[in-house]
Amino acid sequence: MNIDRYIRVNTIDYSGRKNIDWGEVKKAMKSYQGKSYCIKEYDQEIRINLTSVDEFSSSRYTRRLKGTLAKAKANLIGILPELIANATNRRWVPNNAAKHSNNASKGWYRYDGFFALPVKASDESEIRWNRYRCTLIVNSNDNGLFLYDVINIKKEVSNPR
């Protein structure tokens, strides 16, 4: 598997075996509020607003995450601009939920993202990289495209030879 397509998370801010403090993640996510990032492959500007901040840190999907996947999502904060910039495999789906009639009036885009987290030995020396794939959810309305959430985080299995 080619590690080059994976955005590397070099700084692990959320680790250990305890639950993630999503309030702290939300504070970190707020540093992106009001900013926009361009998806290189499609030349689309994706903005981050208050809804992005809230959904990323407290969506139903996020609340159900446990263990390694919760830590993976929390640590995405450090690479979020790069993850957006390198998103690929754009798909569009219509909005079917009345509750999103304003913020997704023109539907939803889904993109694939790829990132890697280091696995370190007890002496902090790097051993290997765990690779993950995720789906970036972007809503579309008259005001543009907005990151809504990052979901479907899955650890990729290596293929030993």
Q: For residues 53, 79, 1 and 87, what is the CA-based torsion angle, rounded to 10 degrees?
A: 60
Own/partner pairs for 33-41, CB < 8 Å, 24+ apart?
35/81, 37/80, 37/81, 37/84, 37/85, 38/84, 38/85, 39/84, 39/85, 39/86, 39/87, 39/90, 39/111, 40/85, 40/86, 41/86, 41/87, 41/88, 41/90
Residues 6+ apart with CB under 8 A from 96: none
The one-digit pLDDT tens for each residue of the chain (161 residues) are: 456 789 999 888 988 767 889 999 999 999 999 999 999 999 999 999 999 999 999 999 999 999 899 999 999 999 999 999 999 999 999 998 888 888 899 999 999 999 999 988 778 777 889 999 999 999 999 999 999 999 999 999 865 44
